[in-house]
Amino acid sequence: MNPPGNPPQRSLGERIGHALAFELIALAICAPALAWLLDQPLLHLGALTLMFSTVAMLWNMLFNWLFDRAQRRLGFQRNLQARLCHAALFEAGLIVVLVPLAAWWLAVGLLEALLLDIGLILFFLPYTVGFNWSWDVLRERWLARRGAPCAEGVAERT
């Protein structure tokens, strides 16, 4: 049984569904917005955002695996400082890969591609918070309908 305030653990299927929904919605928002902002064909920017999404998902898996290994080897706690370091290193790794990719794909300089990447980061920060918050609210409602114990249900029974 889950302690109060902790929802049931997510299954592999839910984690995959979460990642796919996150990326598909982001793709549906970013591709048309970038095509409009950069005055480029939607298909051209759609392909770029799909490449960005794929790279980000693969980097996420690799980076978190490496971070977990570093934690086991170095023995640090996942406190605020570690989380800030985690986020900064993750974004830096993405920039190293995505900026040259964007520069090549769009036939622009590295500085222009970096500015595009910064714009995407500024979009993804609130998008990530909003998406995950919405996911958690909808998940809680879905679990409540199924009768699965959720945070409130557990607290009410104890």
Domain presence at residue 33: yes
* pLDDT tens figures, 91-126: 899 999 999 999 999 999 999 999 999 999 899 889
User: Does a structural domain hold residue 6?
Assistant: no
Identify whether 79 is part of a domain: yes
Domain with 139 in it: 12-157
CA 84, CA 90: separation in Å to the nearest integer? 10
158 — pLDDT class (breaks 50, 70, 90): very low
Give the end-to-end CA distance of the chain in Å, rounded to a whole number.
11
- Residue at 56 is within a domain: yes
pLDDT in tens, 6-41: 556 778 888 888 889 999 999 999 999 999 999 999
* Angle value at C-alpha 6, between 56 and 58, nearest 5 degrees: 10
User: Does residue 1 fall inside a structural domain?
Assistant: no
3 occurs within a structural domain: no
With respect to residue 26, please indicate whether it lies within any of the assigned structural domains: yes
Q: Domain tally for the chain?
A: 1
Tokens 């302690």: give the residue: 3
Judge contact between 123 and 30, C-beta under 8 A: yes
pTM of the model: 0.73
Separation CA 149–CA 104 (nearest Å): 50
